[in-house]
Structures are given as structure tokens and as C-alpha cells.
Amino acid sequence: MESLSSLVAYGVPFLVVLTILVFVHEQGHYLIARLCGVGVDVFSVGFGRELVGMTDRRGTRWKIGWIPIGGYVKFRGDANVASVPADAAEFSPEERASLFQFKPLGYRAAVVVAGPAANFLFAIVIFAVMFATLGQPYTPAVVSQVQADSAAAAAGFEPGDRVLAINGTAIDRFEDMQRIVRLALDEPLDVRVRRADGTEVALSAQPRIVELTDRFGNIHRVGQLGVAVSGQEFVRHGPGAAVWQAIKQTADVTVSTLGAIGQMITGTRPADELRGPLGIVEMSGQAASIGIVPIIQFMAFLSISLGLINVLPIPLLDGGHLMFYGIEAVLGRPLGERSQEVGFRIGLALVVTLMLFATWNDLVHLKVVQFVVDTLS
């Protein structure tokens, strides 16, 4: 039970990271709502009973709930925290002007999109600051050594090869190449290289799937070519270049995350790699134990994941609201209350099921399930 007991020590970094990310997400909703003239009744970090709070001059209650997972912005005219519209008859014609449900479709969509967008923007800011101050990892994508009996050897890689592109994606540095190869679990890669003599050669490489164990004992299933490179350094960028590289980094992480999810859906990648709240607690603590820079990097990656999760077309999430707005745009009218209610119930069931599955993975990873089995046997 050593892994489980370590979660207690990891709790503080997790709460700090999650609180910041939730605040950023909800602040996105709040700022655009204010810009669109929508009244905001409650801005909450956490759920449940209020621990501490204050009411500003606009009548918005800012509070922290005792359940420190998630948060919400309750707009004027919402019947609950899921933004289900209240009965319009409860409000006067003057009050309706500030109700979320009476705003134009474009305004409502903008308010919903602003939450996930804030998470992506936050990640870009983190990466940009790091690239401008500490520098961006840069390793030339030039092969210095090819391991015998490796996927690279079978594909025809040679020392001195400069990797130019993989599956049509330009490769500027080894880190770009590594990101693509690690996700290649089910199909060969079309690689274009430039030989030491200047000629360009097209290669086809099928990465071999290996299991790597990190410093914390976590096992990762990744693709591997079997090439070695050298000369890593950290390159500092000016403000403009740092922002551009940060945007590219955020896009790369987004594509990689979606690719991993797709592999889980198709069965190429085992679904037990999906981690839940306990897993995030553990990873937060592990990153914090290394230093301030790793925990900030982890925050950026988690912010992207939070943004992606929220744009999934599942009722109850931001993506579900956008899906309803898309239907409204096509029909020329909102879905009926009954249809929306059914949709939210389905969304709740999906979210709870996914959370339970991810938490089960956490318990297995933390050896809690094995401990229970050993105790009862």
C-alpha cells in the first residue's frame, strides 16, 4: 500500500494544480459572459457547501466549495449548475435582458467555448514563458547510431541520416520525431531522410512496441525505432518565436492526446492507461517531487487535457452544450426541455461511467485491488 499512502503527500500539489486550472477554465466562461452582457450569479471553485466566499458589487458570489474537484459558473437564468434554463416566467422583461438563455446563439456559443479556450491559452502562456526564459529542448534529428536488430535497422536507417518528415509532417527536431514514433503502435511510418551525401531517401519503418518504466515505476507502452541521437540543448526564443513555438507545442500535445484516445477506442492501446482522479494526484505529486519546472509543465499538459475533455460532445460538458447549439442552429429553435433533460441524464451517465472506469484503473495501478484480494484470500 506504499503507492496509496504516497497520495496523502501528493495531495497538496494536486489541489494547487487543479484549483488553478479550474479557476482558469471558469474565468474564461465568466469573462466572455460579462462581455456579452450575461449576468453571473455564482463563480465557484469546488462543489458542495461553501467554505469561504464574497459577493462583488455586480451581485456575483465568488466562493470555494468543500469538494475540491471541479467548479462552475452559474449564469443568471440557470436553474442549476449544469446551465439548465430556469422558467422564464420567473423573471421580469427587464431582467431577461441579462439572462443567458435569452442571448443570441452566437453569444451563448462564445461563452461556452471560452472555458476550454482559456485552458488552451493558459498552456500556450506557460510554454511561451518557459521557452523564452529556460529555453525549448532542441536535439537535431540526425541519427548518430542505429541499434542492431531494431526497427530502424530493418527499415534501412543509417548513421548520419537527417530525418526530414514522418507521414508528411515536417520534423525540425528529434523531440518532434519522438512524439510521433511513441504513438505509432499500429501502422508503419513513411519517413523521408537526407543521407550524409545529400541524397533524400524514403523509408518505411514499423516501430516496435516496448514497455518503458519511468523513475516512479509507471509503465508506458510506446513505439520505438531504435536510433540514438546526440547534442541536446535548450534554445531560448524571443517573445514572438516563443509564442509561435508554444502554439505548435500545444497543438502537438493536443494531436498526440487525441491519437492516444483513438488508439484506446480501437483497442490498439490498452484502456488501462486511462487514469482518473487518483492517478492525477499521483502524477501531480511525482512532478512536484522533481521540481518547480516539471510541475509547471505538468500543469500545461493537464490544462490541455481539461480543455479537450470539455469539448467532447457529451451533454453536461461544454461540448454537449455546443452540440445542442449546433442542433438549434439547424432547426432554427432550441431543443425541447424534455429532450435536453434526457440528453443531460445520458451525459451524466457517460461521465460517471468514464470516471468509475478511470478510478478502477487507478486502484489497480496503485495496487489497492491486489491488496484487497490478498487480504480477503
* Active-site annotation, residues: 26
Among residues 25, 112, 32, 121, which one has the least CA distance to residue 320?
112
Residue length, the chain?
Answer: 377
- 9-12: long-range contacts, CB 8 A cutoff, minimum separation 24: 9/285, 10/281, 10/282, 10/284, 10/285, 10/286, 10/288, 11/281, 11/285
Task: Tell me which H or E stretch contains 194.
Answer: strand 189-194
CA distances from 196 to 141, 178, 193, 296 (A): 13, 21, 10, 39
Closest to 336 (Cα-Cα) out of 84, 106, 110: 84
Beta pairing, strands 169-170 & 162-166: antiparallel
Q: State the Cα–Cα distance between residues 40 and 31, nearest whole angstrom.
A: 10
Q: CA-CA distance, 209 to 129, in Å (whole number)?
A: 35
CA–CA separation, 19 and 79 (whole Å): 25
Q: Are 112 and 29 in contact (CB under 8 A)?
A: yes
> 193 with 164: CB under 8 angstroms?
yes
Name, in order, each residue with C-beta under 8 angstroms of 330's C-beta and a sequence gap of 6 or more. none
Nearest CA among 175, 152, 172, 151 for reference residue 163: 172
Q: CB-hemisphere CA count at 13 Å for 226?
A: 19
Q: Scanning the structure block, which residue is given the C-alpha cell 506504499?
A: 2
